[in-house]
Chains A and B, each alone.
Chain A
Amino acid sequence: MNRYPLWKYLIIGLALIAATIYTLPNFFGESPAVQISSTRQSIPVDTALMGRVETALAARHLTPDGLFLDRGSLKVRFRDPDTQIKARDAIQAELGDTYIIALNLLSSSPDWLTRLKAHPMFLGLDLRGGVHFLLEVDMKAAIDKTVERYTGDIRRELKAQKIRYGTIKRDGNSLTVQLRDAETLKAAENAVTRTLPSLAMSEDASAFTLTLTLKPEEITRIQGDAVKQNISTLHNRVNELGVAEPIIQQAGPDRIVVQLPGVQDTAKAKDILGRTAALQVRMVEDDTAKMAEALAGNVPAGYDLLDELTPRGPTKILVKKDVELTGDNINDAQPGFEENGSPAVHINLDSAGASIFRQVTAENIGRRMAMILVEKGKAEVVTAPVIRSEIGGGRVQISGSMNPAEAQDVALLLRAGSLAAPMTIIEERTVGPSLGKENIEKGFNSTLWGFAAIAVFMVIYYRVFGVISAISLGVNLFVLVAMLSMLQATLTLPGIAAIALTLGMAIDANVLINERVREELRNGVPPQSAIHAGYQHAWATILDSNVTTLIAGLALLIFGSGPVRGFAVVHCLGILSSMFSAVLVSRGLVNLWYGRRRRLSSLSIGQIWKPTE
């Protein structure tokens, strides 16, 4: 009656072996390491690089504990933090600025475990220290920018086709082009349809106007692209910080989460991330009459009066509203020097950017072009060089009044890519590394003491059945840790709280079973039947109560955010592991202990009292 078929023991055995393998990495701790990765696809992280790093380290008599390539980056492990710092400097000297070199902590679990994809639990920022940001993308700005770019495109196209037009007026998400007659209207319509098929078009034949509107799907695409571009820009900026394993993810339609584990210099991190800059190229208006009018406080329509940053301080400069080019078209930017030795920034444009640039420079020789940095809605002219000749091929050199440090700054901003739309930090959390360590310790201790107290009580109160309960509770903890390690779900402090709470609640199943067995014995049922009936009756209750708890857990997982979700993940997994251990494992142990005995006169379940009628 109380025997398990072999296959059930096999399932339990296999589950325990798997759990052991995946729990193991958590016991090996972490060792200091240096992580080397590259910002660009063109610079590979490969075995050749590994060789260079090895020789550089050998030259300084530094011996790494291990060297391996993992997910596009090279990781070098060291014995102690001291060697780690020395090695970082050595590698930095060898490789220069082309690579991102970051300090990291790596699991010191043996290779065969890592090869089985067994990693230690993934700790949240509150447990290991670091910075968390939630950024919101300004979608209105993203659409504004696109509409402005379309205005420029239409103007250029009409000019190229030699179609005379009047004004281009903007109204919300639509543009109205005023034309001269039916003939130009038709020609303009053809030209725009060919070059900008993504716009919805309507014409007013009597007024000779053409109205172009952003389609709803186009707006959705712009917003999606804006978030994507901002994420890649953030990637580049975070890379400048040299953070090992940063997390940059979309969260909701217009939000981005950035997590920088282990960052100590939070001020610098905020500075670099918070640089919510967008780059624009626009033409400068040098007409003195218009300039005088603008300075008098009467800026002509279609122009902006901006500050230009010069070594002598900011001066005023009048630029056209039309955006010729944005940072989107910039592939690369490097600081350097021009032929006569003054600092310059070398820019590489993509093909679309190159053709626009050629046209703009050809039409505007002798005039000035402004590189404008828009930060938090405030636009500033970084530099406004004079166009000396038509520039083709997409290779642009900006020089002028800047020192090498400024050239470096400009290049960094251009290289990091401009943002599709400005972002604001709407949530920020910084946890110091020492606090993280303390949080782990406290969470661990409270789980440990609670667990010990419950186990002692169970053993005293239920004897052999209590020992079995305590063991299955241990298995529960074990399986839970294994699942968390296997799924690499982020463990946070509320997650640790959930482990503790789940263990406290998991004992409920064992208590239900043990009390039920006692009850059956009290009613005079023979021991073997009492075990059987006890487990059978308790099963329905365990199922019902766990399913309701699981419903609550799942709802938290779906609708919760932050700490609530961290709690819910562990809670849900804990319910599953506790059903496995309380029902299958504890029954298996009871069957092993009692199931084989034919004549069983009593059970060691701590029962001494029988009601006397």
Chain B
Amino acid sequence: MELFRIKRDIPFMSYGKVTTAISLLTFIVAVFFLFAKGLNLSVEFTGGTVMEVQYAQSANLPDVRSRVERLGLGEPSVQSLGTSRDVLIRLPNKPGITSAQLSNQVMTSLKAGGAQLELRKVEFVGPSVGAELVEHGLTAVIVVCIGIMLYLALRFEWRLAVAAIIANMHDVVIILGCFAFFGWEFSLTVLAGVLAVLGYSVNESVVVFDRIRENFRKPSMRTKTVAEVIDNAITATMSRTIITHGSTETMVLAMLLFGGPALHGFAIALTIGIVFGIYSSVLVASPIALALGVKREHMVKPPKPKQEAVV
């Protein structure tokens, strides 16, 4: 079975202007929502307490809300978590009260009504920890970017390294933009997903760049223009790109379907990352590399004069 029967190279580079424009537009939209709406940061970043309780029967949300509000612990948020029995309660940090007292108070007050319930999860994060996490997260992103760029610059060429990183950041910003637009919760697990996308998306660019370098070295490609060489590289790796992304997405879909709420955000971040990863590695990274003026001489070292002397 073969799904891809491409006879001629697809002229991706001639669409370069259009695709770059589209990317730029989505990028700007993502940045806009990121600033306008902001990320719905989880308790890990903002600090506060989150409790997950499970009732034996379906929970009476207004009753839960009024009971928690009666404790006077600041502005609580009470919502159901997927099923009617699971309830998520969020409470802001309050100086003077430890999380231990807090969760005990809430549980006592919920149990006071005679309801059967079980405490499934409590998370408390102090305000200083949250600030640190943001700092660590940003450091991780920056270090990952620098590391990848250095490696690519060493193995390939600085123009390709720059192109790959721009394409990469484009994916990350769009994921963040989506999370901001839909108001999905941005947790540490989602951050792990976003950072995984950084590694994953650059994978894509590397496969294409590898092929471009190989093409430059082929004698049969000598007469072709740089754009044609890139088109050929993308076309040749097309089937692999689609199949690989398909299989990764299969795994991610399985996580989305069977992984439960804990892996939901992670799977969503990866799904967006994979979709834009294909697009950006093919239609963003390569046009940028072309625009930066990548040439055959950059990647194919001229034959050393020594060899001629021997002949």
Tell me the A residues contacting B by CB distance below 8 Å.
126, 134, 136, 266-267, 270-271, 274, 424-432, 434-435, 438-439, 442-443, 445-447, 449-451, 453-454, 457-458, 460-461, 493-494, 496-498, 500-501, 503-505, 507-508, 511-512, 515, 518-519, 537, 540-541, 544-545, 547-556, 558-564, 567-568, 571, 606-609, 611
Contact = CB atoms under 8 A, between A and B. Distances in A.
B240 A511 contact: yes
A457 B210 contact: no
Interface of B: 1-3, 5, 7, 44, 52, 98-100, 103-104, 118-126, 128-129, 133, 136-137, 139-140, 143-144, 147-148, 151-152, 155, 187-189, 191-193, 195-196, 198-200, 202-203, 206-207, 210-211, 214, 236-237, 239-240, 243-244, 246-255, 257-260, 262-263, 266-267, 270
Contacts of B7: 611
15 contacts: A430-B103, A446-B257, A454-B250, A497-B189, A501-B196, A501-B270, A505-B244, A508-B240, A544-B210, A548-B206, A552-B198, A562-B133, A563-B189, A567-B196, A611-B7
B124 A439 contact: no
Given A540-B210, A559-B140, A511 B192 contact: no
Contact of A567 (B152, B192, B240, B251): B192
A331 to B, nearest CB: 30
Contact of A606 (B1, B121, B255): B1
A580 B232 CA distance: 30
A564 B2 contact: no
A457 B249 CA distance: 13
A376 to B, nearest CB: 9
Contacts of B255: 446, 450, 497, 500
Contact of A429 (B122, B198, B210, B243): B122
Contact of B259 (A429, A442, A541, A564): A442
Given A442-B262, A447-B254, A500-B254, A505 B203 contact: yes
B200 A559 contact: no
Contact of B120 (A435, A512, A554, A556): A435
Given A435-B120, A559-B143, A571-B196, A500 B262 contact: no
A556 B192 contact: yes
A551 B147 contact: yes
Contacts of B251: 446-447, 450-451, 454, 500-501, 503-504
Contacts of B99: 270, 425, 428
Nearest to A493: B262
Given A430-B103, A505-B200, 4 more contacts: A431-B120, A446-B259, A493-B262, A552-B199
Contacts of B203: 505, 508, 545, 548-549
A611 B98 CA distance: 71
Summarize A's interface: helix, strand, loop or mixed: helix
A445 to B, nearest CB: 4
Contacts of B192: 494, 497, 556, 560, 563-564, 567-568
A555 B143 contact: yes
Contacts of A553: 199
A540 B1 CA distance: 27
B200 A549 contact: yes
B129 A446 contact: no
A266 B122 contact: yes
Contacts of A564: 137, 140, 188-189, 191-192, 195
Contacts of A552: 144, 147-148, 195-196, 198-199, 202
A498 to B, nearest CB: 8
Nearest first, the 5 A-B pairs at minimum CB distance are A552-B199, A504-B251, A270-B100, A450-B254, A426-B126
A504 B247 contact: yes
B152 to A, nearest CB: 7
B266 A551 contact: no
A274 B191 CA distance: 31
Contacts of A496: 263
A340 to B, nearest CB: 40
Given A434-B120, A562-B188, A606-B2, A454 B247 contact: yes
Nearest to A561: B136
A449 to B, nearest CB: 4
Given A446-B263, A512-B240, A567-B192, A426 B139 contact: no
A451 B251 CA distance: 7
Given A548-B152, A562-B188, A274 B254 contact: no
Contacts of A428: 99-100, 122-125
Contacts of B98: 270, 274, 424-425
A461 B243 contact: yes
A523 B307 CA distance: 31
A132 to B, nearest CB: 9
A571 B155 CA distance: 23
Contacts of A551: 144, 147-148, 151, 199
A134 B243 contact: no
B1 A608 contact: yes
Contact of B248 (A435, A447, A449, A504): A504
Contacts of A497: 189, 192-193, 255, 259, 263, 266-267
Contacts of A267: 100, 104
B119 A446 contact: no
Contacts of B262: 126, 439, 442, 493
Nearest to A509: B244
Contacts of A457: 246-247, 250
Contacts of A446: 251, 254-255, 257-259, 263
B189 to A, nearest CB: 5
Given A274-B98, A428-B122, A552-B144, A450 B210 contact: no
B264 to A, nearest CB: 10
Given A454-B251, A564-B191, A425 B100 contact: yes
Contacts of B270: 501
Contacts of B123: 428-430
A512 B263 contact: no
Contacts of A504: 247-252
B260 A439 contact: yes
A100 B200 CA distance: 48
Contacts of B195: 552, 555-556, 560, 564
A459 B126 CA distance: 51
A507 B244 contact: yes
B122 to A, nearest CB: 4
- The listed residue with most B CB atoms (<10 A of its CB), out of A460, A504, A544, is A504
Contact of A425 (B124, B137, B252): B124
A511 B236 contact: no
A427 B99 CA distance: 9
B189 A494 contact: yes
Nearest to B125: A427
Contacts of A606: 1-2
A494 B236 CA distance: 35
Contact of B119 (A430, A450, A548): A430
A134 B129 CA distance: 10
B188 A563 contact: yes
Contacts of A563: 187-189, 192
Nearest to B190: A563
A501 B1 contact: no
A551 B156 CA distance: 16
Given A270-B100, A428-B122, A449 B129 contact: no
